[in-house]
Amino acid sequence: MPEKPLIEGIFLLEKMAGKGGWTFVRLPAVGAEHKGKWGTVKVKGLVDTYELVAYSLMPIKTGELFLPIKAEIRKHIGKKEGDKVQITLYAEEILPPIAVPEDLLLCLEDEPEAHKMYMKCTIVQKKAFLDWIGEATNDESRIHRIVRTINLLLNKQTKIN
């Protein structure tokens, strides 16, 4: 069964007043199950023929959502303020939080700077560290990898060399 669009319709391109004002589209509110941190909604889909990938809709005071339409998109679709655009958006999967193994968590708690750096890592970077630690074939190797991870983080490095 094909995925059902989160938002679909024809919408007006608007521009904020003032120099450098953003061009945007107001979109209807969506259910709370689609909202991430600060009410943003991650989507993928189309604005006319332009494909959006991992794009964020931002909430506005009215409860509606705000979709910025940058110059690159406007140029591609040949539209400007006052024109109407066909929009079809689908919910982008929100990734669940990554569980940190207890042994690594204890070490991170002992090294606040490493913990702070770990918390700044992207999900992909965190997953790379966790996968690498998890692939250890014995306890000695696992301990070595945890120590190396902590040292990398203390040196503000987010990749395993």
| Residue 134, phi then psi, degrees to nearest 5 | -65, -25
pTM for this structure?
0.55
| Region of poorest pLDDT, from 35-39, 129-133, 147-151 | 35-39
Which residues, other chains included, contact 126 with Cβ-Cβ below 8 Å and sequence gap of 6+? 98, 100, 118
Handedness of CA 31, 32, 33, 37 (dihedral sign): positive
Task: Tell me if residue 128 falls in helix, strand or coil.
Answer: helix
User: Number of structural domains, the chain?
Assistant: 2
Q: What is the rounded distance in angstroms from the CA atom of residue 114 to the CA atom of residue 105? A: 11
pLDDT number for residue 147: 97
Domain of 111, in residue numbers: 102-154
Q: Is residue 146 part of a domain?
A: yes
- For residue 108, pLDDT over 80 is answered with yes
Q: Report the amino acid identity of residue 86.
A: Q
- Residues 36-89: tens digit of each pLDDT: 667 788 888 899 989 888 888 988 888 889 999 999 999 999 999 999 999 999
Domain boundary among 66, 91, 116: 91
